[in-house]
A and B are shown apart, each in its own frame.
Chain A
Amino acid sequence: GAGVSQSPRYKVAKRGQDVALRCDPISGHVSLFWYQQALGQGPEFLTYFQNEAQLDKSGLPSDRFFAERPEGSVSTLKIQRTQQEDSAVYLCASRLIGTRISTDTQYFGPGTRLTVL
């Protein structure tokens, strides 16, 4: 497809379960971002990849959160031992360019809504 896709669109997990969220960026885009959006709030940065390299993970809230992009295209955000406070929409965005001061447009996917019971 032409845009960023994410799967699943909805995920319900019991507290303590592990979840994996997938992002398919726009083909050829070097940069990939993950954001977390709590209900009624704006997105907050989690982590950044340039190709397969994770260059910034300063926004990951705890060591239960782990992201990878092994071949520089598809990315997976994994949350281990989910907690209720992890309930949010997880957004992925991709960008064509990967420079340190790039202001090129980030294109967002539709997000995965995670609900932890």
Chain B
Amino acid sequence: GQQLNQSPQSMFIQEGEDVSMNCTSSSIFNTWLWYKQDPGEGPVLLIALYKAGELTSNGRLTAQFGITRKDSFLNISASIPSDVGIYFCAGTMTTDSWGKLQFGAGTQVVVTP
């Protein structure tokens, strides 16, 4: 089962609006990652976070690694139609080796004109 609790499950927003989603866990994570998956494709890395408290931006995307190391959020500003897709949080736990990833269940984003 999924170790990470990701919310919301889906979002229906209008073009130009901001989007916010988050991920929590009962376990401590070494890294937090945010991926986007389009239909029929594999996940593509958007942002990687390596330190507690770290705030990182990638264009219109901003993500933060929670201070407790048990949560992270992703914001998308001024959404555009190509932001449609499923966004996954992922991370590596302190108890895991080899960097295998734990994933949330995903947030489906639908952008309407």
Which A residues are within 8 Å of any B CB, using their own CB?
4, 9, 31, 33, 35, 40-45, 48, 50, 55-56, 59, 91, 93, 95, 98, 100-111
Q: For the complex formed, measure the closest distance between the CB of B2 and the CB atoms of chain A, giving whole angstroms.
A: 6
Q: For the complex formed, measure the closest distance between the CB of A107 and the CB atoms of chain B, giving whole angstroms.
A: 8
Which residue of chain A has the shortest Cβ distance to B90 in the bound complex?
A42
Q: Is the CB of A31 within 8 A of B105?
A: no
Q: For the complex formed, measure the closest distance between the CB of B38 and the CB atoms of chain A, giving whole angstroms.
A: 10
B40 interface hit (Cβ, 8 Å): yes
A41 to B9, CA, bound (A): 10
**Chain B 71-99 residues near chain A, CB threshold 8 A:** 88, 90, 92, 97-99
A102 to B105, CA, bound (A): 24
Q: For the complex formed, measure the closest distance between the CB of B4 and the CB atoms of chain A, giving whole angstroms.
A: 8
**Chain B 38-73 residues near chain A, CB threshold 8 A:** 40-45, 48, 50
Q: Is the CB of B100 within 8 A of A41?
A: no
Give the number of residue pairs across the A-B interface with Cβ within 8 Å.
75
Q: For the complex formed, measure the closest distance between the CB of B49 and the CB atoms of chain A, giving whole angstroms.
A: 10
Q: Which residues of A contact B45 (CB under 8 A)?
A: 105-107
Q: Which residues of A contact B4 (CB under 8 A)?
A: 42
Q: Which residues of B contact A102 (CB under 8 A)?
A: 98-99
A30 to B40, CA, bound (A): 26
Q: Is the CB of B40 within 8 A of A43?
A: no
**Chain B 93-113 residues near chain A, CB threshold 8 A:** 97-106
Q: Is the CB of A100 within 8 A of B42?
A: no
Which residue of chain B has the shortest Cβ distance to A104 in the bound complex?
B99
Q: Which residues of A contact B92 (CB under 8 A)?
A: 103
Cβ-defined partner of A108 (8 Å) among B30, B44, B48? B44
Q: For the complex formed, measure the closest distance between the CB of A68 and the CB atoms of chain B, giving whole angstroms.
A: 17
Which residue of chain A has the shortest Cβ distance to B50 in the bound complex?
A103
Which residue of chain B has the shortest Cβ distance to A91 in the bound complex?
B42
A43 to B103, CA, bound (A): 6
Q: For the complex formed, measure the closest distance between the CB of A98 and the CB atoms of chain B, giving whole angstroms.
A: 8
B31 interface hit (Cβ, 8 Å): yes
Q: Is the CB of B99 within 8 A of A95?
A: yes
A interface footprint on B23-41 (CB within 8 Å = 1, 0 otherwise): 0000000110000000011
Q: Which residues of B contact A93 (CB under 8 A)?
A: 42
